[in-house]
Structure 1
Amino acid sequence: MTETPRTSQLVDPSLLLSLQRMPQQFMAYSPDEDWSGVTNPAARRRLQNRLNQRAYRLRRQGQDKRATQTDGAHIESAGHHHPTPVPTPAKALAHHDSITCGLSELQHLECTFAPPNIHDLMAQFERRAMARYAEGSPKTDLLLNLSRLNVLRAAYQNVVAIGMTVEWMCQDSTISIFSLARPQHGEHSIPQSLQPTPLQRTVPHHPWLDIFPIPQMRDNLIRAGKDLDDDELCHDLTAFWDTRRSNATMLVWGTPWDAENWEITEDFARKWRFFLRGCPEILISTNKWRARRGEKPLLWKRVFGNQ
């Protein structure tokens, strides 16, 4: 009886093609998460956002693990015969700023309002700011631009706290996950001040508008619709690279999802007053910080007049 040839005997191995997963499939844990071929735009964006969040978390875990291994190797190599020197105040300040101002270490995608070399500008600015701070001679222009760098950092931190990614926020055409569907993780994990309002759920908008920790502020921006020049607002708040900008900006003094850590300048209040209507929290917080500096309180009447 003649033996039937097996498949492996019929096919030349050199002619076999190696099938590989497509890039968008690498983060998918099941076929249901593969957005290839999904024609519904909302469903496709929802799946893309889920995979973007997963990829971001994995990258952060890898960075944390490498940092831990590096620190452990450094301690082990030092041994007991080479005690770590006590840092000087200047070194301690520089180390502190390298942690709190390490925004340029994040993977930064192009934003429509930012120059293409923003990553390099962030690194250069941080070095200048830390050097001036360590010397005890900070310049006023650096302080104003540092406030904008802090707002950019706050935006990044808040968008991640909400459940989105920096990459998602930096893309011009993305829509807030609150407008697409409920966040993939429970909303109980979102800080109270950042939890979505009914308007955020029902009106499609860019995730940039979700980062402010005062609900009425977010609603004011969403209601403005096409009347809002969001590129101009972005520029006022975060354009640390532009030394020609006015004093119309916000300041963040601590945990970015705590509204009490945000402050507005008087120029910002006048320029963007529609954004502040019905938001007494920001006035209270602003005057708290102004009082600490010995400045006169900001009065709503001076901002809104008789309107």
Structure 2
Amino acid sequence: MASPQQIVIEPMTQQLLVQNAGEDWTGITSTAERRKLQNRLNKRSQYLRKRQKLTKSRQADKPATPKPSTEIAVQTSPNSMIQAIMEMCEVFNSPDISQRVFALASMAYLDYTMNAPRISQLPFLITLNVNIAIAKNATLLGFDRALMCIDEAISPFNQNGPWPVCYNPPKVLEPTSVQKAILHHPWLDIFPFPKFRDNIILAADAELLDDGELCEDVAEANIQNTERPSLIVEAEQG
């Protein structure tokens, strides 16, 4: 007999930073009181982000030590969505862009938890989902997410050396013979369509397209919220 499906209940976003019951604005109907509590939690969130940035800066000054590329960079939050957003911010090569994307994404998610989503955020959210998918697939492949934003990065599939015995990416992300044979950027490995990956890699190798320009077209964060064509990522099924 199959075991009953378990439902994981996670705390709401605003409750992650609450230190006492009086700071939880969930269910508060007074707009003024709710905004007051939200501002307090937002300031706490900004402080935590600054502290995290300082910690990363200090770690960067230390001698580099090997670490698994699938290591989760942020373990301070039990909320999967916030963690996904923070991991996604690693794929941008500019700290300023990462901070702006994090702020916009967190605010959009906060609006969502309040049942007050704004249609004006849709263009940004579409590209946000694309970058979350890129970061997640990079992790599933065992790649360092930061490789996605390094112009001269080379796909690990093009490098010599044995893969860990436990390496077991989803079937749709398993490298093809083309991925192993032709030098290419690791961001081309994250698409879950083997034939599509092969076509792009072959076209880039033949200089029929610029994979850097393609990356900008597909994954550039739409911070300005302008209407433009974009790749759309569907949610996971099941």
TM-score normalised by L of structure 2: 0.61
For 1:23, the equivalent position in structure 2 comes to 63
* TM alignment of 1:1-307, pairs within 5 A: 23-24=63-64, 27=65, 51=66, 53-54=67-68, 57=71, 60=73, 64=75, 99-106=80-87, 108=90, 110-111=92-93, 116-181=95-160, 184-186=163-165, 189-225=168-204, 226-238=207-219, 239-254=221-236
Q: CA-to-partner distance for each residue in 1:276-300, whole Å, 9 max, x for gaps?
A: xxxxxxxxxxxxxxxxxxxxxxxxx
The alpha-carbon distance between structure 1 residues 240 and 99, as it changes in their structure 2 partners (threshold 3 A), is farther
Distance 1:220 1:187 in 2: 29
Preserved contact between residue 91 and residue 135 of structure 2 (Cα < 8 Å): no
Kindly indicate which of the two structures has a greater share of residues assigned to helix. Answer: 1
Which consecutive residues of structure 2, in runs of 5 or more, have no partner in the other structure?
A: 1-61
CA apart distance, 1:116: 4.7
Q: Tell me the secondary structure at the aligned position of residue 222 of structure 2.
A: coil
- CA gap of 1:235–1:108, structure 2 versus 1, over 3 A, is same
1:40-81, Cα deviation, whole Å (9 max, x unpaired): xxxxxxxxxxx3x52762x65xx54x668xxxxxxxxxxxxx
- Give the drift of 1:197: 0.5
**CA distance in structure 1 between the partners assigned to 2:161 and 2:222 by the alignment:** 34
Question: What amino acid does structure 1 have at the position aligned with 2:222?
Answer: F
CA shift, 1:161, in A, is: 1.2
Q: Where does structure 1 lack aligned partners over 5 or more consecutive residues?
A: 1-21, 28-50, 69-97, 256-260, 262-307
Alpha-carbon shift at residue 129 of structure 1 (Å): 1.1
Mapped partners of 2:84, 2:77: distance in 1: 16
Letter in 2 for 1:209: L
The answer on whether the counterparts of 2:69 and 2:139 sit within 8 Å (CA) in structure 1 is no
Separation in 2, partners of 1:214, 1:109: 21
CA shift for structure 1 position 137? 3.8
Of structures 1 and 2, the one scoring higher in RCO (CA 8 A, sep 6+) is 2
In 2, the alpha carbon distance for the partners of 1:228 and 1:183 equals 31
The one-character-per-residue Cα deviations of 1:175-203 (angstroms, maximum 9, x if unpaired) are: 11111136522475111110011000100
Match of 1:264 in 2: none
Which residue matches 1:9? none
DSSP-derived class of the 2:233 partner: strand
- The CA distance in 1 between the partners of 2:120 and 2:217, in whole Å, is 15
Alignment-mate amino acid for residue 218 of structure 2: L
Question: Structure 1 CA distance, aligned partners of 2:161 and 2:170?
Answer: 15
CA distance in 2, matches of 1:118, 1:140: 22
CA deviation profile, 1:110-135 (whole Å, cap 9, x unmatched) = 43xxx551222122212331243234
Query: Number of paired residues?
Result: 173
Distance 1:156 1:146 in 2: 15
Secondary structure, counterpart of 1:117 in structure 2 = helix
